[in-house]
Chains A and B, each alone.
Chain A
Amino acid sequence: MAQATAKGGAGGRAVLNMVLFYTFIAIFVLVSILPLVWVFKMSIVTKSELFASPPTIIPQNLTPSSYQTIFSDPAFIKALRNSVIISGVTTIICLFFGSIAAYAIARLRFRFKSTVMTLILAISFFPAVAIIAPLFIQFSQVGLINTYWSVIVADVVFALPLTVWILVAFFKELPRDLEEAAKVDGATTIQAFRMVIVPLAAPGVFTTAILTFIFAWNEFLFANTFLFDESTQPVTVVIPNFATVYTVDYGAQAAAAVVVTIPLVILVLIFQRRIVSGLTAGAVKG
């Protein structure tokens, strides 16, 4: 600002540009977050205010009753637990296999590397819905239907390319000499990976973990196909059904949506820089 005015004549235009720019940014940010703010408002007002016409902009009569309703619903608590288990296990499995494969792709030389990478990436273009019938049949034959594993196994396949892709980008950025020094000192490839790369790559691995977790937390198709009853269903399956459970209790529906998204919003706010670098890592370098 000070710089702009110091330029004298051009200053007016610079200030105007600045104002226009920040107005644009403000609109953009508002459009992004306003729906969430509005649903949050719906979840904290009384029923009569919820149905008021015209609607109130600033909440007037606050009540925690919507949250009490959903937190006293055992089905909701159970669904939250199921979501945590499914996403957590999926993340761990993906990181295990993904980091091993990504290390080989990023650091080792081998002939069919681009074939391997193409095959892995092909999954990101793969319509999951095309295989739900065969998976359903196979999972029923081995008794996996209605267990966490049915969803975890399917989720792992579709999250792995994401995990590998981001980890490859992170691994490539690590300095090569450290590893070579380890090898000169007599470490094997596996030891170099475990003792040198893994600790150094921890921030990258952590970012990948967050992204994989979000991916699994948000998954709906497999969960809605393979899980029949509420004992194993995650929140993504249970909450849309609240429209029929809490038919006119829109406040409770809003509260449930807020509770499920809060952990994600917090993750995003804390780790936004890392998430962005992870998300865009593969895309630009390609």
Chain B
Amino acid sequence: MTTASTEKKGRGSVFKEEFANPERRTAYYMVLPTLVIILVIAFFPILYSIILSVTDSTITGIGSFVGAENYIEMFQNPDFREGLVNTLIFTVVSVTLEFFIGLGIALAINRAFRGRGLVRAAVLVPWAFPTVISAVMWRLMFQDQIGIVNYVANAIGLISQPILSDRTLLLMAAILVDVWKTTPFMALLLLAGLQVIPGDVYEAARVDGANVMQRFFRITLPLLKPAILVAVLFRTLDSYRVYDLFWAMSNRELESLSTFVYKGVRITQLQFAQGNAAAVFIFVTAFLIALFFIKVLGMQTSTEE
């Protein structure tokens, strides 16, 4: 991203200079395998995906060029539109909830107290689960014959039909499971951000007569901003590609952008080209989301000190 060659020099001579230094040469050799793996297995296929999406392609390979036809068909497909709407609702609602709950938890446990290790271990438990397995577990609890959540919600008059047979309730249930599973992760990232804010900043503000609210909005939030952006971007992109959770919790009924792609690739091969158009759509929009965080919100990407 950064333009290393600010001096007016040819790219070639920069490389030559870099390689003339033995330490630097070794460094390049050391990062090369990782870079090659990533380029060959992730970046090259995305180009392939783009080609597949503008041709009359099938699972066996590339067909003839058809322009934007696959994209037009994709946008006309009600399944795709349903997936898009579900994905957007899921992402916005779950990340918002996770952020506010996570921030609350991080602020609360940002102090030394007895049993802190225990709390940390407990919050890591949901995080460590495979998403599909937590979906299976929650599905059992939402189930209408034996599910405790369904039983309680029914008993207090919250629902009138079984949760698993209603798409709206299913989406809400998926959001609930996601919040349960990933809020701890959000809280941990924010807590780590809180812990690097030096205590004397607060002390100085208190001496100057700042109250709790002022200290929070003028000190905590601005200083926590880098950690917030990283945590929220991570979670947003993660929710945006939701697949496992919908797949396992709804018995493949709840549509998301990713399940639409998957169906095209592995289930209804008639939709293969459309599925690829959706794959490219996800890639481009995810990239735009990341760009928005970096350029508009000012997220720092540099890892240099």
Contacts and interface: CB of A to CB of B under 8 A. Distances in A.
Indicate whether A and B interact: yes
Interface of A: 21, 24-25, 28-29, 31-33, 35-36, 38-39, 42, 50-51, 53-55, 97-98, 100-101, 103-105, 108-121, 123-138, 153-154, 156-158, 160-161, 164, 168, 189-190, 214, 217-218, 220-221, 224-225, 235-237, 239-240, 242-243, 250, 253-254, 256-257, 260-261, 264-265, 267-269, 272-273, 275-276, 279-280, 282-286
Contacts of A124: 234
Contact of B27 (A32, A108, A224, A253): A108
A110 B261 contact: no
A276 B124 contact: yes
A33 B125 contact: yes
24 contacts: A29-B122, A35-B180, A100-B30, A109-B24, A111-B4, A114-B1, A115-B1, A130-B49, A130-B283, A132-B279, A133-B59, A133-B275, A161-B38, A221-B258, A224-B266, A240-B132, A240-B247, A243-B251, A250-B140, A260-B130, A272-B124, A275-B124, A279-B188, A286-B300
A110 B20 CA distance: 11
Interface in B15-60: 18, 22-24, 26-28, 30-31, 33-35, 37-38, 41-42, 45-46, 48-49, 52, 59-60
Contacts of B266: 136, 224-225
B4 A116 contact: no
A155 B228 CA distance: 27
Contacts of A156: 37, 41
Interface stretch (B64-72, B91-99, B200-208, B235-243): B235-243
Interface string B217-255: 000000000110011011001001101100110010000
Interface residues of B, number: 110
Interface in B180-202: 180, 184-185, 188-189, 191-193, 195-196
B89 interface: no
A225 B262 CA distance: 8
Contacts of B275: 133
Interface residue SS majority, chain A: helix
A56 B151 CA distance: 12
Interface residue SS majority, chain B: helix
Contact of B290 (A42, A125, A134): A125
